[in-house]
Amino acid sequence: MAGLGSDPWWKKTLYLTGGALLAAAAYLLHELLVISLGKTQNNLKYVGWKIHLEMATLSEFTGNHILHHGTWISCCVDLIYGYISRVESKVDRKQQEIDSKDAIILHQFARPNNGVPSLSPFCLKMETYLRMADLPYQNYFGGKLSAQGKMPWIEYNHEKVSGTEFIIDFLEEKLGVNLNKNLGPHERAISRAVTKMVEEHFYWTLAYCQWVDNLNETRKMLSLSGGGPFSNLLRWVVCHITKGIVKREMHGHGIGRFSEEEIYMLMEKDMRSLAGLLGDKKYIMGPKLSTLDATVFGHLAQAMWTLPGTRPERLIKGELINLAMYCERIRRKFWPEWHHDDDNTVYESEESCEDSKTHTPLLDFSSYSRTETFEDEGAENSFSRTPDTDFTGHSLFDSDVDLDDYTDHEQCK
């Protein structure tokens, strides 16, 4: 109290009361975020206990003024705790019904509201990888983080693995899949270097655009599972606390110490590097898929479909058009149910545009296998003719279509 100078006692009490209430509110919002991401309900109970303790301690110095307000906040916490307890008990019962015996259970954030599979580059990377590798899996959108606090994570035969790199290594070892089998040592080294550029550098520039500069648009897309009557509040809380977390972690990373213009300059350099590496190839490392494609697609898809009107969207759909066509190519091949009605950029023929006017919604597959959706690509002399394929069966978005063959075919009609 002496540190407040010569202010009257009532001002001192007001200052301390306001500060204590703000601290308690900030702590409550933080714990709500933790709960919304799937932490245990004990966190919220701990909040009420801590607020009671802190208010009681402060009351020793300022009388009972703060204790009264603190008790009111604690009661609110108890009410929310009771609701969250009921929600989590339902989630726990549902979790017990999941059996990972010989099944890949993919835990990830809930689908956004804009039709994109995920606002997380890493969740989209992991699910795209499973489809590329033709591995059946089940989605689980419970929102519960892994033991390491990571998302996504998987369960397989009751083993839990988190971190996309470790998940892929685990699946390669257990199931014998390998998207990089066509890459030599030099190409594998390039692939890893590009992966680290994308995940450890480009990712942070996307996170800045998504959760700091374009936060209001991101909030509209965000979907929270189990929020109930608190959904709008939790959405607001999650977005604004995530903004603070992103800024703090970017500062620790180092990239957040630069100005907004400098951050976007770094983003543009990364995107131009990817565009130069892709060139006119079908995939990043050549004519065949590799794990790197799942990584790059998971990140570039955010610029393509989750950042409307921003600099990365204008760049990828404008000057770096080969990256846009690359994203479209992968989306059409591995996500047949994913359509984006708000995309006004045309990458397709008029015939394909007509067909795309009738869309099916993005499905939350309880069990997904690409072999059940696509024809066998290994079948010789066979192809599926669709509005976006030419007479050879190549996609019109494949940069390696032989244009001479196509011209000869048209002349023979």
User: SS3 sequence, the chain?
Assistant: CHHHCCCCHHHHHHHHHHHHHHHHHHHHHHHHHHHHCCCCCHHHHHHHHHHHHHHHHHHHHHCCHHHHHHHHHHHHHHHHHHHHHHHHHHHHHHHHHCCCCCCEEEECCCCCCCCCCCCCHHHHHHHHHHHHCCCCEEEECCCCCCCCCCCCEEEECCEEEECHHHHHHHHHHHHCCCCCCCCCHHHHHHHHHHHHHHHHHHHHHHHHHHHHHCHHHHHHHCCCCCCHHHHHHHHHHHHHHHHHHHHHHHHHHCHHHCCHHHHHHHHHHHHHHHHHHHCCCCECCECCCCHHHHHHHHHHHHHHHCCCCCHHHHHHCCCCHHHHHHHHHHHHHHCCCCCCCCCCCCCCCHHHHHHCCCCCCCCCCCCECHHHCCCCCCCCCCCCCCCCECCCCCECCCCCCCHHHHHHHHHHC
pLDDT in tens, 340-369: 654 444 443 333 333 433 434 454 444 455
**Confidence (pLDDT) at 317:** 96
What pTM does this model have? 0.67
pLDDT in tens, 50-73: 444 444 444 443 444 434 444 444
According to the model, what pLDDT value does residue 355 have? 41
CB-based contact 77:44 (threshold 8 Å): yes
Query: Would you state the pLDDT for residue 362?
Result: 54
**In this predicted structure, what is the pLDDT of residue 192?**
97
Give residue 97's pLDDT band: very low, low, confident or very high (50, 70, 90). Answer: low
> What is the average per-residue pLDDT within 173-186?
95
Per-residue pLDDT, averaged over 251-267, amounts to 97
Return the pLDDT at 398. 42
**Range scoring the smallest mean pLDDT among 22-26, 109-113, 130-134, 236-240:** 22-26
Quick: pLDDT tens for 287-339. Answer: 999 999 999 999 999 999 999 999 999 999 999 999 999 999 999 999 998 87
Mean pLDDT highest for which of 44-53, 65-74, 225-234?
Answer: 225-234
